[in-house]
Copies of this chain bind each other. A is one copy, B any other.
């Protein structure tokens, strides 16, 4: 006797609500600081019901770190490393990434925790690390593209790519206020300098 489609949808929504609440609480109160009781109350769900969707606290944390990553990684990797005009592609990438990082405060705070305490969270850290390597290498190839066309200063590409991703997570860390998203716009031009553009 299978469940009705409506019920399966409701359960899916309920699971997602728990997960979103968990992301927020894990991000703002840490792993041990976040209790199942708090999550249940904030998600308007009974205490025991959390365990029907997630085996235990550790698995819930893992899901909170890894599941949102898929949605975000698609946006971050959405640029053409073989662009005809790599300078323009870089500039649009920077603009897009900065806006993205400005918006995603909760989740990125959670990411910062996992990366900062990677010894405590080896499994979710591994997932983040894999994505980070992909990302950095793709950025590195776009930089080399620009260098071959004589539009960027010649220098090792990977350190620059690493500095770029470091810069993004660093800005997120340093800007506690999300509200004034105008502030973020002023970072775009100077951040672009990092790649060593050659102006004629």
Contacts and interface: CB of A to CB of B under 8 A. Distances in A.
Interface string A167-200: 1111101111000000000110111011110000
Given A28-B119, A33-B120, A194-B193, A159 B173 contact: no
Nearest to A165: B174
B163 A190 contact: yes
Contacts of A33: 30-32, 120
A121 B55 CA distance: 31
A46 interface: no
A159 B186 contact: yes
A113 B115 contact: no
Contact of A170 (B119, B168, B186): B168
Contact of A173 (B29, B109, B116, B153): B116
A132 B174 CA distance: 9
A162 interface: yes
Contacts of A174: 115, 132, 162, 165-166, 169
A62 interface: no
Interface of A: 27-33, 109, 112-113, 115-120, 132, 153, 155-156, 159-160, 162-163, 165-171, 173-176, 186-187, 189-191, 193-196
